[in-house]
Structure 1
Amino acid sequence: MVAKPYRRDYDTPRVPEEDPNVFYPDSDDEPMAENDHQRRALIDISESLIHHYDDRPDVYVSADIFVYYEMNNPNRNVAPDVLVTFGVEDRPRFSYFVWREGKAPDFVLEIASPNTWRRDATEKRDIYAAMGVTEYWRFDPNRGQYFRRMLIGERLNDSGDYETITLTETEGALTGYSAVLGLDLSARDGVLRMYDPVSQTWLRNFREEIAARQIAEERAEFAEGRAQTAEGRAQSAEDRAAVLERMLREHGIEPPNGG
């Protein structure tokens, strides 16, 4: 007896119109990234966004996950490096199905690599526009070697075409505002960072978040140690004063302000 494939695409309920015999793979056995530059950028950016929306159960952030955009056709898929969708449940998924979720991702970011950058700028761009992805960004960690610019942002207009988002260049940083995310995206020296203009803080990646927590814990321990030291000193001073008071009374002298 041959075992049937484990149909993990059922983590999101199918709709009645779907063919129950169609199987949607959740992996193509391809590596997540081609090189360390792409891998580091993918992890840092996705983890920063996951942490930023951690308190939003209606925001889904993922990286390198299959997005199926045509019902009953498993060949119609694309795997964005980073995606963000508002208005859907934040939970783990094996794949993202546009018709099951009721909408396409709102934000997609592709990170340039030697074998993908051409498709990012052409075929994928057309796919995302047809899907209705509101904002499509491309980042080149190779300092513009492939896209000619480190950062490119586009927003879907009412006609269903992408229009370029204006970027500014200041002190070597190329920066643009994502209205979808409510964040500034800033590329400099092959690194993409995101800035929250409301809280006026830079989003932290996973390593920075761990470092920040360690610093906070160390500061708390230091403050607690200082408080304990101060308390110990106060107790020692009080003990010494009590000894002096007793000695004075033994000699018939009432201590100043004594009781």
Structure 2
Amino acid sequence: MGRHTHEGEDAFPRAPTQEEWEAMGPEERERVVESLPGEVTWDEMAMPEGDKHLRAKVRTLDLLEGYFSHQRRKVYVGAELPIYYPGERRFAPDLLVVLDVEAHEREKWVVSHEGKGLDWVLEVHVGGDRKKDAEYNVERYARLGIPEYFIYDRARERLEGYRLPESGVKRYERMEAKQGRYTSEVLGLELEVVNARLQIWAGNALLLESGELVERMREKLEEVQRRVDEEARLREQETRLREQEARRREEAERRIAELTAELERLQHREE
């Protein structure tokens, strides 16, 4: 079996190199994937950064999952998933997207096993040293060939975007915002920070959280119910009017019959 834990620089688990992977048989590969931990240690993770970090991450995950769940294209969206590139120290980005793969739940992403690497990464920065997100990860993610990388800096409430200019290039170019929005060519979406919230647009449509969608659906349901109730009230009113009209007609017909009968009696009496 290929060695999937490298000593020296660090002792954190690593996936085999691609050369080692290709030399393995199917059963050995399966054992290696199973042996790679599905969690990262405290030594590898940044210190907890509180609600600002958590809510931004959870909200963005919700927006992306909600959007891609309605697209025909298969897309996997994950958060803090241990990522194993061949021969590389593992890492766990705040958010990640991989296109054209099954969206089932995973506890880790082993690039050699999955057959492809990440397509999009977002890191949420709240406090402390920005060097990891703004310098080290910019170099690392570009070297790994991740097409796009975004940093949502909650301390400054601003967004930074990086993109590989073409396939095979291992150095990012910084994106330029247009009217405050960054275009993600990978996702086919636009991102911007407005009022301390990361907003995502699909064309002219603003993506909504699950809770916001539920509230919109509730409002629509209430509006439909109001229309149904109003139509029912109008139908009931029409029914009452028809019943009143029928009663008046019956009364008029009864009165005509009485008058006709009275007229006939008078005519008979004169005769």
Residues 53-89 of structure 1: CA distance to partner in whole angstroms, max 9, x if unpaired?
A: 1134511111121111126x7xx21111111111111
Tell me how far 1:155 sits from its aligned partner: 0.4
Are positions 1:207 and 2:220 aligned together?
no
**Is the 8 Å Cα contact of residues 57 and 90 (structure 1) preserved in structure 2?**
no
**Is the 8 Å Cα contact of residues 155 and 162 (structure 1) preserved in structure 2?**
yes
Residues 121-168 of structure 1: CA distance to partner in whole angstroms, max 9, x if unpaired?
A: 222223311221111011112225xxxxx1111101232210011113
Q: For residues 28 and 18 of structure 1, what CA distance do their matches in structure 2 show?
A: 21
Are positions 1:18 and 2:29 aligned together?
yes
Are positions 1:226 and 2:230 aligned together?
yes
Are positions 1:153 and 2:157 aligned together?
no
**Matched position secondary structure for 1:251:** helix
Quote the residue 2:117 is aligned against.
104
Quote the residue 1:163 is aligned against.
173
Residues 64-115 of structure 1: CA distance to partner in whole angstroms, max 9, x if unpaired?
A: 21111126x7xx2111111111111111111112112211121111110225
The runs of 5 or more residues in structure 2 that have no matched partner are 1-23, 258-271
Q: For residues 92 and 25 of structure 2, what CA distance do their matches in structure 1 show?
A: 22
Pick one of 44, 49, 53 that aligns with 2:68: 53
Give the TM-score of the pair, scaled to structure 1: 0.79
Residues 196-218 of structure 1: CA distance to partner in whole angstroms, max 9, x if unpaired?
A: 11xx2100122212211221221
| Residues 70-219 of structure 1 aligned to structure 2 (within 5 Å) | 70=86, 76-115=89-128, 117-144=130-157, 150-158=158-166, 159-169=169-179, 174-197=180-203, 200-219=204-223
**Which of these two proteins has the greater Rg computed from alpha carbons?**
2
The runs of 5 or more residues in structure 1 that have no matched partner are 1-13, 145-149, 254-259
Are positions 1:64 and 2:64 aligned together?
no
Matched positions, count: 226
Q: For residues 69 and 163 of structure 1, what CA distance do their matches in structure 2 show?
A: 22
Q: C-alpha root-mean-square deviation of aligned residues, in Å? A: 2.4
More helix by share: 2
